[in-house]
Amino acid sequence: MQKLIISFFILFFIFGCRQPPSPEQIRQADYGIYPEKYKELVTEYITANLIDPTSPIFSNWTGPEKGWYQQPYSQNGKVYYGYKVCVYVNAKNRMGGYTGASPFFVVINNNQVVYLDSASSYKRGTIGEEEAYRRCNF
């Protein structure tokens, strides 16, 4: 039993720890061009996947800010470089009622959304409110 517990902790430390990009990698990364029309890009991307694409209300925009985001190891640990944007979105559900504003975190590179996550059920969002606040400094 003790060997099993020790093995578990070893695996946890090996796979649970991910290294962020080095300062050199961050400096040399391709962040793409500044997204002048970031609101339109994000709005179009999110709206295209909603149940009622005429319903979303966007508020509390922050960014774009040059930066990077690394997914958790459980989601492959991939690093996304670009311009970070955060926004609250309130949209209608299947019943026609508004669900309440949820924070969305987006990374844009060369005028393309390369990463999006939310605290809502939108496309099975994986972050909670607290994580969204941390990423977006709301």
Q: Which residue has the higher pLDDT, 125 or 29?
A: 29
The 3-state DSSP composition of the chain as helix, strand, coil percent (nearest 5) reads 30, 30, 40
Which pTM does this prediction carry? 0.74
Percent of the chain with pLDDT over 90: 26
> Residue 137's pLDDT is what?
64
Contact criterion met (CB below 8 Å) for 51 and 96: no
Query: Following CA atoms 120, 89, 106, 74 in sequence, which dihedral angle do they give, to the nearest 10 degrees?
Result: 0
- Strand order through the sheet with 79-90: 57-70, 79-90, 102-109, 112-118
103 beta partners: 88
Contact criterion met (CB below 8 Å) for 83 and 64: yes
Asked whether residue 39 carries a pLDDT value surpassing 90, the answer given is yes
Confidence of residue 138 (pLDDT cuts 50, 70, 90): very low
Q: pLDDT per residue over 68-98, tens digit each?
A: 888 777 677 889 999 999 999 988 888 888 8
Alpha helices (H) along 17-88: 23-28, 38-47
Q: pLDDT per residue over 53-69, tens digit each?
A: 888 999 989 889 998 88
Instruction: Calculate Rg over the CA atoms of the chain.
Output: 18
Confidence of residue 42 (pLDDT cuts 50, 70, 90): very high
